Every structure is written in structure tokens, then in C-alpha cells.
Amino acid sequence: MSDYIVEKIENGIATIRYPDNSWAEIVLTADMTEAQLDQEAWKYKPKVGLAPGFVSAGSTRTASPMPEPIVEEEPVLPEWLQNRIDAYGDVSAQVEYITENGIEAWQTHVAQIKAQYPKE
């Protein structure tokens, strides 16, 4: 929230002043609501921040873009491993299999998958 005072309205433009004595001019419209005026005033409210130690008035700096982030590619899995992962299913599917069929049946199932997709 930021308080403001409408100082004047001239030619459909409201001059508003904030508590820190900064001001803004807002174009008014006939169908504008109070909420819309408040929203416009909010856009221009005084900004507050803290300057880092390396910034001082009068200092000369050089603008430059941030370096592009390094995007690591996902490793390509061997086909046999990807096939096994797909056949096993996610963890919840494996737990469901064990719950419904027992651990021995699951171990047999895993062995069948490994036989079907051997390491190369």
C-alpha cells in the first residue's frame, strides 16, 4: 500500500504526490474506477532499495549482458537400460506389483526383464 494525494486534475491528467514528495501524472478516463486509479498510482509509487557496496554516485561502470547459463544435456542412456527402466515402471507401479503378487513374483519379473534386455 502506498498513500498519495491528488494535487490537481488538468486536461484529464491527475498529478499525484507521494509522502516522500515524489509525484506522478496519471491519465484519467471517464470509466476509470477507484481501484484502477489506485493501481495506476501503485505503478509509480516511490521505489526503495539498498545499493550494494560496489555502487556509488558518480562511479563509471560498463554495461554487459549476463553470461548464458550452461545447460547440461541429459545423459543418453544405453538402449538396454532405457528399455529396462520402461519395463520396470515407476516406483509406485513396482510397489503395487509387489503388494499384489509378492516379493518373489516381483524378483522373477525383474529377472525376466533383465533376460529380455541384457547388458550389451
**What are the pLDDT digits (tens) for 9-47?**
999 999 999 988 999 999 999 999 999 999 999 998 888
Asked, for residue 74, whether it belongs to a domain, the answer is: no
Cell 484502477 -> residue: 36
The pLDDT, as a whole number, for residue 46 is: 85
> Does position 48 have pLDDT exceeding 80, yes or no?
no
Amino acid, single-letter form, for residue 55:
V
What does the alpha-carbon distance between residue 50 and residue 97 come to, in Å, rounded to a whole number? 57
Closest to 80 measured CA to CA, from 31, 106, 117: 117
Is the predicted pLDDT of residue 56 greater than 90, yes or no? no
Q: Is the pLDDT of residue 50 over 90?
A: no
Give the phi and the psi of residue 3 in degrees, each rounded to 5: -70, 150
- Does residue 19 sit within a domain? yes
71-116, pLDDT tens digit by residue?
888 889 999 999 999 999 999 999 999 999 999 999 999 999 999 9
Containing structural domain, residue 36: 5-43
pTM of the model: 0.42
Contact 117, 84 (CB under 8 A): yes
Name the residue with higher pLDDT: 63 or 31: 31
> What string of DSSP letters covers 55-115?
--TT------PPPPPP-PPPPPPPHHHHHHHHHH--HHHHHHHHHHH-HHHHHHHHHHHHH
Question: What residue has cell string 538402449?
Answer: 79
Residue 95 lies in a domain: yes
Q: How far apart are CA 110 and CA 116, in angstroms?
A: 10
Instruction: Look at residue 61 and tell me if it is in a domain.
Output: no
Domain count, the chain: 2
Contacts of 8 (CB under 8 A, 6+ apart): 14, 15
Q: 54 in a domain, yes or no?
A: no
